[in-house]
Structures are given as C-alpha cells and as structure tokens.
Amino acid sequence: MKSEKGMTLVTTAILVVVITALVFAIVYYARMQYAKERLENIKTDLLLVQAKVKTIQENYTLEKEKEDVLKGTKLADMQDDKKIEQFLEQENIDVSEKNKKYYVLNKEDLEELDLKKVELDENSYYIVEYTTNEVYYTKGFTYSDGNTYYTLTEIENLEIDSNE
C-alpha cells in the first residue's frame, strides 16, 4: 500500500488556531498603534492652540485688557449651538465664573491664527480660556477606560500602553 503524506486533522486544527492567534495579535497591535497616534495628534493640536492662546493672552495683558485682542467668539454668544450646548451639559466648565474669558475657536479662527494644520472635526470646536490658557476640545478623546476627556491637562496625562 502506498503511504500518503499529508496533514492530519490535529495538525490542521493546530495550524488554524495559530493563524487565528496571529491575526488577532496583528489586529490588536494595529488598533493600539492607531489609538496612540490619534492621542498624540490630539495632544499636538491642543498644544499648538495653547501656545497661540498664551501669545494672545500676553498681548491682551500688554494692551491693558482690550477685548478685541482676544480671538474667537465669546462662549456666551454660542450657547445656542448644539455641540456647545452638549459640551456645557457635561459640566466640563463653569461659565458662571467671573474673570474667566471663554472663547470658541472654529476652523476659520484657526486659519486666522495661522493654525491651518491643526485638525478640527466637523461640528466640533476648541474652547479656550484666556486667563488660565486652558484649552478644551468639544469632541474630546475617548480613552480605553470608556471615559471621554476634553481638556489638554487631562489628555496630556493619558498613556496608551501596549499592555492594556
């Protein structure tokens, strides 16, 4: 009788399990890399906006607090906007605080500030506070723990490990 050499059922099952594990590992790694890249892009954009806000704030102080130096639209004037309304409902900022200068930056404002490379998704804004130089992103960044973070301070403290 002729000996047939081929893969047995057990060998085939082991091969399928190994290939499946490799595919899952590759997909997991790709997702983690994408999340890291997205986090870094958001951090970079927020830092660029913050740097520009600090410059504007310094000019505001030098020019004896003339409001026309501040760029953007006053937050109080945009509270009817759906995205701003949703952002404020989450109580990320307290708009009733006196001495706070909250302004909303849209795509046109970013272009006017020479921040053309800063990405801004449709129907989202950057909210800046000129007295503390804090920057908020109305879309936020959803972390692997399921929480969404909106401020530069919070997002800077996030780390995406390959161990998660």
Domain ranges of the chain: 9-156
Q: CA–CA distance from 70 to each of 51, 65, 67, 105 (Å)?
A: 14, 9, 6, 11
> Residue 140 — very low, low, confident or very high, per pLDDT cuts 50/70/90?
confident
> Amino acid identity, residue 48?
L
**What is the predicted pLDDT for the residue at 91?**
75
Is 75 a residue whose pLDDT tops 60? yes
**What is the predicted pLDDT for the residue at 30?**
94
**What is the predicted pLDDT for the residue at 4?**
67
Most confident segment among 38-52, 66-80, 98-112, 133-147? 38-52
Q: How far apart are CA 126 and CA 79, in angstroms?
A: 14
The mean pLDDT of 83-104, rounded to a whole number, is 80
**What b/e sequence results for 126-135 when a residue is b if at least 16 CB atoms lie within 10 Å of its CB, and e otherwise?**
bbbbbeebbb
**Of the candidates 134, 49, 40, 41, the residue with the CA atom closest to the CA atom of residue 93:** 134
Residue 109, H or E segment: helix 107-112
How does the average pLDDT of the chain come out, rounded? 84
The mean pLDDT of 147-162, rounded to a whole number, is 78
- Rounded to the nearest 5°, which phi and psi values hold at 146? 90, -10
First to last CA, the chain: 55
pLDDT digits over 15-67, tens only? 999 999 999 999 999 998 988 898 899 999 999 999 998 888 887 777 777 77
Q: How far apart are CA 56 and CA 11, in angstroms?
A: 68
Residue 139, H or E segment: strand 134-142
Is 162 a residue whose pLDDT tops 60? no
Tokens of 94: 């307290």
**What is the predicted pLDDT for the residue at 68?**
73
**What is the predicted pLDDT for the residue at 142?**
85
Which DSSP string do the residues of 35-70 spell out, in sequence order? HHHHHHHHHHHHHHHHHHHHHHHHHHHHTTS-GGGS
Q: How far apart are CA 10 and CA 105, in angstroms?
A: 62
